[in-house]
Amino acid sequence: MSRVLSGIQASGQLTLGNYIGAIQNFVKLQDTHECFFMVVDLHAITVPQEPAALREQTESVAALFIAAGIDPAKSSVFVQSHVSAHAELGWLFTTMAYMGELERMTQFKDKSSGKDSIGAGLFVYPTLMAADILLYNADLVPVGDDQKQHMELTRDLAQRFNARFGDYFTIPEAYIPKVGARIMSLDDASKKMSKSNPNPASYIALLDPPDVIRKKISRATTDSGREVKFNPAEKPEVSNLMSIYSHCAGLTLEEIEARYEGQGYGAFKKDLAEHIVATLEPLQAKYAEIRSSGAIHDILKQGAEQVSVVANRTLRDVKERMGFVMPR
Ligand code: AQP
């Protein structure tokens, strides 16, 4: 059975973008693959995090995984920092990566642009991500479109290691959904919807109450036209809302166009908000149950124990191949 590894940063409240672009696919893949899903906290601190917020976000992401349908009996769910091999292999890959290739990463350029002081962690983020994936010799990595470049670097680092130290790593493939791989901001369709965007009106958080969702959708930017048509080049805002609609209502884009022909944006937005509310309500109810039961700690402990066996074996093999003296 081929192996899947993916994760989500504990860097804020999860958004509908994380759900459509990532979590929904995680849930599907667990029936056909051996799955490892992690809450990524070591990456989250590449931008400053308040300790209390980091703690809360980490538990919240883990509980949302379970609430969305990831089943700990089928998949291993764990926190990145609970498995110290991630940080250690990350360092080994940092020594093998070139400054030039890290400088080319668009996520680094986006997140560092306009900042006076840029954390070194943000720069070496992709080498830690490569370690996350290669520690488990994952075959498939479900990610949104924005992670394509990091995936290419992971493949390059795996090949570089194999060429220098002998064939060891599986070269992983990115698994990018055809629709929904990039859900855009509600206030600016040129930017992807992001949980760390300081403007909460730019995203739908998975835990937003129904009235907040309705308000955010009613205020979402559209254009001066009135046609509900899917045309990302000319109507990026409406097309983005249509992608969200399609995911939440289970309708094709053509069906949505037909349904709102000649009706303008008002009715479309009103229905869209209700479809989002209906999609998130069961997830929110399950989330509240999981949080109040405290079960998440046991799930994470069990997950870390399961994956550590694989991770520690990989780290030992890698260090031996690189020439480290192993303790006897
Ligand atoms: N807008 C999006 N549309 C589709 N997929 C998305 N993903 C994120 N945003 C969208 C996918 O969610 C997974 C987890 O992402 P992450 O938290 O590890 O990092 P990210 O891609 O940087 O996500 P955010 O929400 O934008 O986080 P911040 O704001 O902290 O940087 C990935 O598979 C990603 O593709």
Same domain, residue pair 134 and 19: yes
CATH number at residue 240: 1.10.240.10
In a domain, 185, yes or no: no
Q: Quick one: average pLDDT of 63-82?
A: 98
Same domain, residue pair 305 and 159: yes
| Active-site choice (115, 191, 195, 215) | 195
Q: What domain range includes position 156?
A: 3-176+294-322
Same domain, residue pair 16 and 105: yes
Same domain, residue pair 148 and 266: no
> How much of the chain exceeds pLDDT 90, in percent?
91
Please give the pLDDT value at position 224.
92
Catalytic status, residue 115: no
> Is there a contact between 182 and 144 (Cβ–Cβ < 8 Å)?
yes
Q: Tell me: is residue 100 an annotated ligand-binding position.
A: no
pLDDT digit string (tens) for 1-29?
899 999 999 999 999 999 998 999 999 99
Q: Predicted ipTM?
A: 0.94
> Is there a contact between 102 and 124 (Cβ–Cβ < 8 Å)?
yes
Indicate the pTM of the whole model. 0.93
Q: Tell me: is residue 146 an annotated ligand-binding position.
A: yes
Other Cβ atoms less than 10 A from the Cβ of 308: the count is 17
Same domain, residue pair 22 and 126: yes
State the total domains in the chain.
2
Q: How many helices (H) and strands (E) does the chain have?
A: 15, 5
Q: Tell me: is residue 156 an annotated ligand-binding position.
A: no
Same domain, residue pair 35 and 96: yes
In whole numbers, what is the pLDDT of the chain averaged over residues?
Answer: 95
Nearest CA to ligand 1 atom 7: 18
Catalytic status, residue 270: no
> Is there a contact between 87 and 320 (Cβ–Cβ < 8 Å)?
no
| Active-site choice (28, 74, 109, 111) | 111
Please give the pLDDT value at position 141.
95
pLDDT digit string (tens) for 113-159?
888 888 999 999 999 999 999 999 999 999 888 899 999 999 999 99
> CA-to-CA distance for 25 and 146, rounded, in angstroms?
16
Which amino acid would we find at residue 103?
E
Of ligand 1's listed atoms, the one at least distance from the Cα of 107 is 22
- Running DSSP on this structure, what letter comes out for residue 141? E
In a domain, 182, yes or no: no
Catalytic status, residue 216: no
- Running DSSP on this structure, what letter comes out for residue 49? -
Residue 314: CB partners within 8 Å, gap ≥ 6? 85, 89, 134, 135, 136, 137
> Is there a contact between 85 and 312 (Cβ–Cβ < 8 Å)?
yes
Phi, psi for residue 110 in degrees, rounded to 5: -65, -45
- Say how many Å lie between the CA of residue 323 and the centre of ligand 1: 36
Please give the pLDDT value at position 180.
65
